[in-house]
Amino acid sequence: MTKEQVLKKYFGYDTFRPLQSDIIDTILSKQDCLVLMPTGGGKSVCFQVPAMVLDGLTLVISPLIALMKDQVQALQANGIPAAFINSTLSGAEQRDIETQCRTGALKLLYVSPEKLLTPNYLDFVKTLNVCLVAIDESHCVSTWGHDFRPEYTQLHILKQAFPNTPMVALTATADRVTRRDILKQLGIPDAKVFISSFDRPNLKLAVSPGRNRLKVIHQFIAQRPKDCGIIYCLSRKNTEEVAEGLRKLGVRAMHYHAGIDAQTRSEVQDSFIKDEIQVIVATIAFGMGIDKSNVRFVVHYSLPSNVESFYQEIGRAGRDGMPSDTLLFYSFADIVTRKEMIDKSELPPEMKEVQLAKLDRMKQYAETEICRRRVLLSYFNEEAQQDCGNCDVCQNPPVKFEATIFAQKALSAVARANEKVAMGMLIDILRGAQNRNVFEHNYHTLKTFGVGKELRYEEWADYITQMLNSGIIDIAYDERHALKLNALSWQVLKGERKVELVKFEPYEVKKAKQEEA
């Protein structure tokens, strides 16, 4: 059968998507390739079609044991003889599948890397007539990737075992460094690289200051009462609280995380797919392999740890190509939390550095004052030809104002409080708040007490955050987040440096402006 016939017969499609056809031709001519396509781009077809055209067995290495079963069932439902082998199967089941491999009854075999690396298993695989090796989620080989899996670094043994068999590595997310790493680690330096555009113009990009998150989310959902979406949170507990909060506000919301038993999880998934639940509040455990095309929005309650994860998660919205929204909450505290998580993790120091560098790129996205899509695409080494017009920065460019006086007020209050106060207390001092904490520390006697009454709490929070971001003030994480002065601070205090800040706008105002646009 030709590849077009296979596509029609087994998948029911008439035409290939851009790149699919080229990739398949490359595989059929026995060349290695690396495929970079965003989630939902159609990567699977790239190895499943050749698997049906070629004579022999296609070996698929996939780290996502939970998804293997679904993928294999979907193939079987289309009449493709496929099976998976991983640690969840009994010995008898595994032997049965091995027999089918030997007789040539199977066309695709999905194997977890752990299984492949168990003693003797590779020897068994070597006896089979393997015509293609596919490495799914291949960014897992790279420590620079966002989802490094040590087992993946052993996969070079595959090319050694099957030197004349084409290998295709697939991933949805890989910057240039990761890409190079994949080719090196898999031992396919001459692989042809295919990169499909990562641009998803139907996704609107927006960032909101991380205050009153629940209230803002509620307003956001109220504006789209018929649309369903996903809210990503940092912790399990967080998902439960947010879902509960939304239910109290009358939203059909459910939480989802890996700590919930498998049956409840699949029930929640099902009701979401059937549109019975409007909002899923989840940890990143949710979404892999979920094929729901009409997710209309993805909200990040907290800052993701890196751009790859962020991109993958927002990519679950608007798979049908219809306009969809993304909203990221961002505050300085999120960065602090993420940094602490990295610090406390068991990672070796050099991996921590990588994680911190990645977090920094995420921060740049959240803080950018240029078109957000440009920032996102440039991360994936793509260049946008023009500003997108479909992000909050394009639709509502930041308005700057001369803010040296405000900055001086804040900085001198930091100085007078002996650099011992965190942001909340600093704002209380600036606004002359009459609370116990202030009195206990005698802050009401400071000369700067109440000099910033003209700004509301949120405005100060926003401006101080901007000052932190631009480096004219520091924060000591190990001293209860006390604010500290640095050389730049002193330049500002002495009037040697001017400060410009972006005018604060409450979310509702921003939103209204965007809707006009």
Residues that bind ligand ADP (CB under 6 A): 13, 16-17, 20, 37, 39-45, 291
- Applying CB under 5 A, the span of 54-62, 131-139, 368-376, 423-431 interacting with Zn ion comes to 368-376
Per partner kind, with CB cut-offs from 5 to 8 A, the member of ligand ADP, Zn ion, none near residue 40 is: ligand ADP
Q: Which is nearer to Zn ion, 296 or 373 (CB)?
A: 373
Q: How far is the CB of 197 from Zn ion (least distance, A)?
A: 16
Q: Is 117 exposed, middle or buried (0-12, 13-18, 19+ CB in 10 A)?
A: middle
Q: Which is nearer to Zn ion, 496 or 516 (CB)?
A: 516
394 scored as a contact of Zn ion (CB under 5 A): yes
Q: Pairing mode, if any, of strands 207-209 and 400-402?
A: unpaired
Q: Which is nearer to ligand ADP, 37 or 414 (CB)?
A: 37
* Spatial CA neighbour of 97 closest among 114, 76, 78: 76
Phi, psi of 76 (to 5 degrees): -60, -40
242 scored as a contact of Zn ion (CB under 5 A): no
Per partner kind, with CB cut-offs from 5 to 8 A, the member of ligand ADP, Zn ion, none near residue 388 is: Zn ion
Q: Which is nearer to ligand ADP, 196 or 212 (CB)?
A: 196
**Angle CA 83–143–164, to nearest 5:** 50
**H-assigned helices in 223-302:** 236-248, 262-273
Instruction: List CB contacts of 353: < 8 A, sequence separation 6 or more.
Output: none
* Spatial CA neighbour of 182 closest among 18, 193, 4: 193
* Token digits of residue 134: 């596919």
Q: How far is the CB of 267 from ligand ADP (least distance, A)?
A: 23
Does residue 293 sit in helix, strand or coil?
A: coil
Beta bridge partners of 432: none
Q: How far is the CB of 209 from ligand ADP (least distance, A)?
A: 32
Q: Compute CA distances 459 → 337, 435, 503, whole Å.
A: 22, 20, 9
Per partner kind, with CB cut-offs from 5 to 8 A, the member of Zn ion, ligand ADP, none near residue 296 is: none
Does residue 197 sit in helix, strand or coil?
A: coil
391 scored as a contact of Zn ion (CB under 5 A): yes
Q: Which is nearer to ligand ADP, 40 or 56 (CB)?
A: 40
335 scored as a contact of Zn ion (CB under 5 A): no
Q: Which is nearer to Zn ion, 320 or 369 (CB)?
A: 369
Q: How far is the CB of 318 from ligand ADP (least distance, A)?
A: 13
Per partner kind, with CB cut-offs from 5 to 8 A, the member of ligand ADP, Zn ion, none near residue 371 is: Zn ion
Q: Tell me which of 37, 49, 217, 371 binds Zn ion, using CB under 5 A.
A: 371
Per partner kind, with CB cut-offs from 5 to 8 A, the member of ligand ADP, Zn ion, none near residue 42 is: ligand ADP
376 scored as a contact of Zn ion (CB under 5 A): no
Does residue 105 sit in helix, strand or coil?
A: coil
Crossing angle between the packed helical segments 43-53 and 20-28, to the nearest 10 degrees:
40
Q: How far is the CB of 287 from ligand ADP (least distance, A)?
A: 11
Q: Which is nearer to ligand ADP, 13 or 121 (CB)?
A: 13
388 scored as a contact of Zn ion (CB under 5 A): yes
Q: How many alpha carbons fall within 13 Å on the CB side of residue 273?
A: 12
* Token digits of residue 34: 């690396």
Which residues would be at the binding site for Zn ion (CB under 5 A)?
Answer: 371, 373, 387-388, 391, 394
